[in-house]
Structure 1
């Protein structure tokens, strides 16, 4: 059997809305894509009762290697990647569904080194990031000069920490910019909301978490949509003085109060299908 036809065993870490979506797609149509569910782990095991076959439920995450997964997908919380990511990479490819974890420099360095050492791939799903591969190509060529990512959502769609909690409450009556600045400082304040920005930082590796600008806006009039606006700045022509720029605007339908928009689910599934093994490196998918 060729590598392309080999059935891949997938471990899912986290059983929230996104985890449930991925599990059900693998159980329902995994055979069509040569996928098999290796395990599902969730902090609250009872949440899987009646939905995930008992033999596929992993009670102790430290025992993940016994399930011999080819790919482990984290869709739980950034702390999972910080605490277990390097261990996952010792025996499996690893897709980081919460790339805000990589805003911690020690975690990013540890995972990059683990990937190189094991030869397993560290996958960064594009999620709601539009044009990530193009951004990465510009970074590879050294032509990416600036990148700004603006995310706008209803206040109820934000799960915030620290000083941003108070800002969010003020935004219930008016549109308010909650944050504007380097993405690195924003990630621990909004770990569940700015994974798109974190993915952009990994794509724009010459700028990174300190060079990419993130803007977070709460808009009480925006109940059914998540907006992502991306502004890319490239080189300036020496003769004309004209600067290369690209601006995209993504309108993602989202139910009120939901952290993840509808189309992002399909994007994650497409990313999972790409994770077939690309060697010991970081790969945007």
Structure 2
């Protein structure tokens, strides 16, 4: 695979807000950073026409291997990770932008095995997670005892699979939607809790069942999302961080997370046969 000094060919799977941002950055700034665009795929390819050079549009995702990539970046939906993740890793490094998919223990194990088998890296971007590398270091040293994450957003920013939030009204204030393990949260809000999923990957000894999370609807949060992280270690050690991530009403992803994803992509230089928080 390519080294840090080589040009990396990037395939982008998904062309929502985050996909559009990454594609634009690669086309504009990528060459100076050693990145070039190999392909862009979107479920509705018509959305790409006129915005992405025609020769870079991939109509059929099943033919992704024809484009020869060093890194494939998924920024669309956990189902794509489930269906194509193993195939992506058989051909290239894979940055999973929907790490909530990894809450499925069978899929998690399958992708970890594929990473080892093919000597590719399964990259997990930190996204809105603050202190992810520190959490991972605590985990690796065996000192992490507990991890709790609370994500608070305006109700228009949540995309839930159930009917938990269908009755919200402006001015209702704060409502706790769910509290429990990240393993339970991911299927409920697969597009909203990728930060929690990244934390569960970082704290691998606790895992998705051991990391606890809470999602909160708050109609007062019209300009930003709030991510609170509390890490507990031995002998009374603890760290509590609060991150306010600017976001527009209805936005699933906070604006600061876009640049975080770009910086994560720049890290994807090839770390072979492992899961890597970037």
Instruction: Say if 2:102 is the partner of 1:102.
Output: yes
Q: How many residues align?
A: 277
State which drifts further: 2-11 or 17-26.
2-11
Find the aligned partners of 1:235 and 1:27 in 2 and give their Cα distance. Answer: 47
Structure 2 partner of 1:9: 9
Other-structure match for 1:25: 25
Q: TM-score, normalised by structure 2?
A: 0.97
Per-residue deviation, residues 74-132 of structure 1 (Å, max 9, x unmatched): 00000000000000000100000000000011110110000000000000000000000
- Aligned pair 1:264/2:257, yes or no? yes
Spell out the pairing of 1:60-209 with structure 2 (5 A cutoff).
Answer: 60-166=60-166, 169=168, 173-209=172-208
Q: Give the SS at the match of 1:164.
A: coil
Query: Aligned partners of 2:171, 2:191: CA distance in 1, in Å?
Result: 19
**Partners of 2:74 and 2:122 in 1: CA distance:** 11
Give the C-alpha shift of residue 171 in structure 1.
8.1
Shift of 1:4: 2.7
Alpha carbons 1:155, 1:172 under 8 Å: kept: no
Q: Is the 8 A contact 1:171 1:219 kept in 2?
A: no
Structure 2 gap segments, 5+ residues each: none
Once the 2 structures are TM-superposed, how far is the Cα of residue 49 of structure 1 from its aligned partner? 1.1
- Segments of structure 1 that go 5 or more residues without pairing to the other structure are 237-242
Any conservation in 2 of the 1:171–1:218 contact (CA below 8 Å)? no
SS at match of 2:168: helix
Q: Which of structures 1 and 2 has the larger relative contact order (alpha carbons within 8 angstroms, sep 6+)? A: 2
What is the CA deviation profile of residues 181-233 of structure 1, one whole-angstrom value per residue up to 9, with x for unaligned ones? 10101101100000000000000001000010101000001110100000000
Which residue does the alignment assign to 1:57? 57
1:225 aligns with 2:216: no
Superposition misfits of 4+ residues, deviation over 6 angstroms: none
Could you tell me how far apart the structure 2 residues matched to 1:114 and 1:276 are? 18
RMSD between aligned alpha carbons? Answer: 1.2
| Cα distance between partner residues in 2 of 1:171 and 1:65 | 48
Correspondence 1:45 to 2:45: yes
CA contact (8 A) 2:4 2:270 kept: no
